[in-house]
Amino acid sequence: MLDRLTEYFFPKQVSTFAGDIDNLFFFIFYSSVALFFIVVFGMIYLALKYRHKKGEELELTSSKDHSNLLESLFFIIPLILVSITFVWGIRSYLKMVIVPDNAIEIKVTGQSWFWTFDYPDGGTTLNELVVPSNQPIKLVLSSKDVLHSFFIPVMRSKMDALPNRYNVMWFDATQEGVYDIFCTEYCGTGHSQMGAKVIVMKPAQYEEWANELGSDDDSVPLDELGAKLYTKKACNTCHTLDGSALVGPSYLQTSQMWGQERVFDDGTSTVIDENYIRSSILEPQTQIVAGYQGVMPTYQGLLNDRELDALIAFLKSLNEDSQI
């Protein structure tokens, strides 16, 4: 029955310690429910039973005022419950903080408003954490700007990502699948979109995937690669393709303004061309489009030249007039 309830209230249990954590939660929850009913119904019953009746003399002391047995039970029962919670809690906690020696280490970096993952054999992914199943994974977390928090509900695992220091968390995934990751520290306008996925693969499949990572595919045409990168590199958290402004100007609007003047918040302006797009991506802070905030992160080091070309080609492909 407990399993059914867990399924009903909680996301799937996918890490080795998830079951333990849920059971402890339910132990605390049901002890609290039981105590609540015992105390509240006891109180109501006694208040009714010993209420003042008309014409009755007030008896200020009586043998009912004290019972050694009850007094002892009132502290022994909570003491037992609290001790169980403590021992169970600290054992589960230690399981969660002591990282096994054979863990694969992946660097996780949060920034407004996406996650970057750096793998041990080189290669980076954005908003997609790929891991093998049945293998401890150690995550070393930090942030490039404000506080973020990295939460994988199915692993029952969560840790803050702070600027200027490293935090560690780990998990061992027991089932293959694609699961949600959330940022659970309010970090600005894009916070609600700061989601990512953890993709748990069979070890052999992961091996294959890791080998391919980093080798970029030259056979894909530039604008197609750009369309892929546009979502893969999280541009779509702040830009849209339908002309509506989000945190930044719509990619469609920029493409329709190809060859026209872009005005910046300091009053200067420039013509929208390949060089402008390139510097917008690599040095977004140098020219802030008027009416927007300078919150775009730099992609310096996150995109190679072909990928930059691809993003520019994709932008141009959105507007037929720019196909020169």
Binding site residues, ligand HEC, CB under 6 A: 112-113, 190, 233-235, 237-239, 247-249, 254, 262, 277, 280-281, 284, 287-289, 292-297, 299, 311
d(Cα 245, Cα 292) in Å, to the nearest integer?
10
295 binds, among Cu ion, ligand HEC, none (CB under 5 to 8 A by kind): ligand HEC
Q: Is 194 in the site for Cu ion (CB under 5 A)?
A: yes
Residue 189 beta carbon to ligand HEC: minimum distance, rounded to whole angstroms: 9
d(Cα 295, Cα 312) in Å, to the nearest integer?
20
Q: For the purposes of burial, counting CB atoms within 10 Å of the CB of 146, is it exposed (0-12), middle (13-18) or buried (19 or more)? A: middle
Q: Which is nearer to Cu ion, 132 or 297 (CB)?
A: 297
187 binds, among Cu ion, ligand HEC, none (CB under 5 to 8 A by kind): Cu ion
Contact 100, 136 (CB under 8 A): yes
148 binds, among Cu ion, ligand HEC, none (CB under 5 to 8 A by kind): Cu ion
Contact 114, 194 (CB under 8 A): yes
Backbone angles phi, psi at 263, to 5 degrees: -100, 135
Residue 250 beta carbon to ligand HEC: minimum distance, rounded to whole angstroms: 8
Residue 276 beta carbon to ligand HEC: minimum distance, rounded to whole angstroms: 7
d(Cα 49, Cα 288) in Å, to the nearest integer?
75
Residue 41 beta carbon to ligand HEC: minimum distance, rounded to whole angstroms: 54
Q: Which is nearer to Cu ion, 142 or 253 (CB)?
A: 142
Q: Is 187 in the site for Cu ion (CB under 5 A)?
A: yes
194 binds, among ligand HEC, Cu ion, none (CB under 5 to 8 A by kind): Cu ion
Q: What angle do CA 291, 293, 314 make, to 5 degrees?
A: 85
Rg of the chain over CA atoms, in angstroms?
A: 29
Number of H helices, E strands in the chain: 8, 12
198 binds, among Cu ion, ligand HEC, none (CB under 5 to 8 A by kind): none
Q: Work out whether strand 157-161 and strand 167-172 pair parallel, antiparallel, or are unpaired.
A: unpaired
Q: Which is nearer to ligand HEC, 88 or 182 (CB)?
A: 182
Q: Is 148 in the site for Cu ion (CB under 5 A)?
A: yes
End-to-end CA distance of the chain: 67
Return the SS3 of 287.
coil
Residue 189 beta carbon to Cu ion: minimum distance, rounded to whole angstroms: 11
Q: Is 183 in the site for Cu ion (CB under 5 A)?
A: yes
233 binds, among ligand HEC, Cu ion, none (CB under 5 to 8 A by kind): ligand HEC
> Diameter of the chain by CA atoms?
104
Residue 161 beta carbon to ligand HEC: minimum distance, rounded to whole angstroms: 16
Residues near Cu ion (CB under 5 A) are 148, 183, 187, 194
